[in-house]
Amino acid sequence: MTRVEQIGLHEYLAQEVQSVDRVLNEWVPGDTVEPAIIHRAMRYSLFAGGKRIRPVMAIAAARAISDSPAGIENAAATLELIHTYSLIHDDLPALDNDDLRRGRPTCHRVFGEAIAILAGDALLTLAFEVLSRLSSTEAERRIRLVEELARAAGTVGGMIGGQVCDLEGEGKRPSATLLESIHRAKTGALLRASVRMGAIFAGASKQELAAISEYGEHIGLAFQIIDDVLDVEEPSEALGKTAGKDEAQQKITFPAVYGLERSREMAEQERLAAHLALRMFDDRAERLRQIADFIVHRKA
Amino acid sequence: MTRVEQIGLHEYLAQEVQSVDRVLNEWVPGDTVEPAIIHRAMRYSLFAGGKRIRPVMAIAAARAISDSPAGIENAAATLELIHTYSLIHDDLPALDNDDLRRGRPTCHRVFGEAIAILAGDALLTLAFEVLSRLSSTEAERRIRLVEELARAAGTVGGMIGGQVCDLEGEGKRPSATLLESIHRAKTGALLRASVRMGAIFAGASKQELAAISEYGEHIGLAFQIIDDVLDVEEPSEALGKTAGKDEAQQKITFPAVYGLERSREMAEQERLAAHLALRMFDDRAERLRQIADFIVHRKA
């Protein structure tokens, strides 16, 4: 019996989240290290009950390739550093101007805008420091991880590019093309990079990496569709952030373009395509399959 | 006759600036690449007549170690990406709230705050992408460069840490200890990293790297002292930024703690110490020596 069968998904996720949190706690200085205020701000946003979905996906992808990819949680944690920096900056008054994130006041509401901007910068910078110092991994592989993360977070088809398109798109007529290009970059690129980084870390072959990338693309799109759907369907309380903001800000979303029912159908298609992409893998990829299901069927 | 003797410092600097600008132009997408607005904002701040002092120092350090370190201008350019990102974010209303930089309106005055924040993020991210893709350098060395840059730009003794101390220090009683800890981190760390990265790129021995680091520390301090002095002495026009802002914002500066005359003396001491640090090098380090003189004797 494989380990996958031994424990359920939720228990498994909780375990992985713990291991990611442990290394994040090691890498991010505590508030005994000066300047304390910036480390407090970084930790405030980092340890705010995030689901750690990106690191968990990286670890699951690494385990689909290799039984015991030692130290993978360090590489995986860098995805959470990037994700958290992007949330802090997105929430700023000049961008989404959000007061609430994961059920708590946003970073700039607690620490002020200046520290929030610098805390985001610091998390982004730290992600690359961590990758450079992965002691368990050969230099060639570490460099590939740096490149993967930097591209996924960048302007050309990456996270920042998507964020810019999103800003520019506010108030424009929602079109399917614009929608897809925004989300492929804004959330898709980092989710795809998550599984790719896991696979690269674990020494995936070209063919394996291609399959994992395809999985990542489908799951990235599914994730965003469901995020948009939940913004319409769920109350703020369940989301831990201000619900209905997309509509209020005239964001281009899947429900706005396709309606709720069709959006859910599309997410289901992506889920199935993600499963199909994994057909070359044995049951070591079972967690990736379960995560695909979890992402599409989640309630928050 | 060595090349150093053939052309004067200013012509030499102009040549190196050109080679740095050429690679920056290659690495930063033009505004034909979507989303155009972010690339325009990045380029607006990057090509604003900066002196490229950090890349030039990196190249000079590399040439002190090795005659022809091929591709060094690419590694060197990443220092300008980091420096420019830090200027864009420092100028934001929530931080220094500056309208003028290098004689032109600051990035957020032209592109708005949201794009300025993201342009800074993008330059920071791109710096690491460039390092990961240095084709002329083995992976082991590229990873050391990533680590060097990330630490110098980070919170613990690095640029962001210094920026936070600077913000926290505004209006506090200026003390010599606070002053030194701010500047060692805020500008010193990146200047020190500049020469270290050049030396690492060129394959410096441990002993050579130690000497170059010592040079970098002295020159970093000298640079900041003179920066503070010029903020008092020179009109805005010559500086290309708002002069006298340090005093207006009650920043902790060298003239505020030591007075102008003693500050200039201290810079001169640091210049001499920088020369002394280079005693093990032959005339291949001549440009580094000239740059030390240039930094202390400059007028803007």
- Is a pLDDT exceeding 60 seen at residue B2? no
pLDDT (0 to 100) of residue B5: 52
Nearest Cβ partner for A147 among B114, B132, B138: B132
Mean pLDDT of A262-273: 97
Residues A120, B121: C-beta atoms closer than 8 Å: yes
- Is a pLDDT exceeding 70 seen at residue A243? no
pLDDT (0 to 100) of residue B97: 95
Beta bridge partners of B100: B105
Q: Out of A68-72, B249-253, B282-286, give the one with best mean pLDDT.
A: B282-286
Residues A117, B95: C-beta atoms closer than 8 Å: yes
If residue A295 lies in a helix (H) or strand (E), which one and from where to where? Answer: helix A286-297
Mean pLDDT of B193-217: 98
pLDDT (0 to 100) of residue B18: 95
List the Cα angle A190/A74/A137 in 5-degree steps. Answer: 100
Chain A: residue nearest B167 by CA? A114
Mean pLDDT of A207-229: 96
Angstrom distance (rounded) from CA A91 to CA B86: 20
Residues B143, A144: C-beta atoms closer than 8 Å: no
CATH of region A3-297:
1.10.600.10
Chain B: residue nearest A146 by CA? B132
Residues of B in contact with A39 (CB under 8 A): 155
pLDDT in tens, A82-97: 999 999 999 999 999 9
Decide if A156 touches B, using CB distance below 8 A: yes
pLDDT (0 to 100) of residue A165: 92
| For chain B, percent of residues with pLDDT exceeding 90 | 77
pLDDT band, very low/low/confident/very high, at B6 (cuts 50, 70, 90)? low
Decide if A248 touches B, using CB distance below 8 A: no
Residues of A in contact with B121 (CB under 8 A): 85, 89, 120-121, 124, 160
- The contacts of residue A56 (CB under 8 Å, 6+ apart) are A13, A16, A17, A20, A76, A291
Nearest Cβ partner for B125 among A92, A115, A153: A153
Angstrom distance (rounded) from CA A13 to CA A109: 30
Residues B143, A132: C-beta atoms closer than 8 Å: yes
pLDDT in tens, B256-274: 899 999 999 999 999 999 9
pLDDT (0 to 100) of residue B173: 78
Mean pLDDT (chain B) is 92
pLDDT (0 to 100) of residue B236: 65
pLDDT band, very low/low/confident/very high, at B1 (cuts 50, 70, 90)? very low
pLDDT (0 to 100) of residue A237: 65
Comparing A14 with A2, which gets the higher pLDDT? A14
In the block, tokens 């998507």 appear at A162
Residues B121, A92: C-beta atoms closer than 8 Å: no
Decide if B294 touches A, using CB distance below 8 A: no
- Span of A93-102, B114-123, B136-145, B230-239 with lowest mean pLDDT: B230-239
Residues B131, A151: C-beta atoms closer than 8 Å: no
Q: How far is A115 from chain B, CA to nearest CA, in Å?
A: 7
ipTM for the assembly: 0.94
- Is a pLDDT exceeding 50 seen at residue B230? yes
Phi/psi for A104 (5° steps) reads -130, 160
Decide if A121 touches B, using CB distance below 8 A: yes
Mean pLDDT of A231-258: 77
pLDDT (0 to 100) of residue B238: 66
Q: Residue B196 has which token pair?
A: 């270290």
Mean pLDDT (chain A) is 92
- Is a pLDDT exceeding 90 seen at residue A67? no
Q: Say whether the peptide bond before residue B255 is cis (omega within 30 degrees of 0).
A: no
Angstrom distance (rounded) from CA B158 to CA B153: 5
Phi/psi for A49 (5° steps) reads 80, 25
- Is a pLDDT exceeding 50 seen at residue A1? no
| For chain B, percent of residues with pLDDT exceeding 70 | 95
Phi/psi for A174 (5° steps) reads -65, 125
Nearest Cβ partner for B153 among A125, A142, A160: A125
- B9-27 and B53-65 helices, crossing angle to 10°: 110
pLDDT (0 to 100) of residue A299: 83
- Is a pLDDT exceeding 80 seen at residue B245? no
pLDDT (0 to 100) of residue B103: 87
Decide if B177 touches A, using CB distance below 8 A: no
Residues of A in contact with B189 (CB under 8 A): none
Mean pLDDT of A114-142: 96
pTM here is 0.95
Question: What residues does each domain of chain B span?
Answer: 3-297
- Is a pLDDT exceeding 70 seen at residue B243? no
- The contacts of residue A169 (CB under 8 Å, 6+ apart) are A178, A182, A251, A252
Mean pLDDT of B131-152: 95
pLDDT band, very low/low/confident/very high, at A6 (cuts 50, 70, 90)? low
Q: Residue B161 has which token pair?
A: 């840490």
pLDDT in tens, B146-170: 999 999 999 999 999 999 998 988 7
Mean pLDDT of B1-19: 79
Residues of B in contact with A160 (CB under 8 A): 38, 118, 121-122, 125
Residues of B in contact with A35 (CB under 8 A): 155, 161, 164-165, 168
Residues B34, A117: C-beta atoms closer than 8 Å: no
Residues A118, B163: C-beta atoms closer than 8 Å: yes
Q: How far is A98 from chain B, CA to nearest CA, in Å?
A: 14
pLDDT in tens, A198-215: 999 999 999 999 999 999
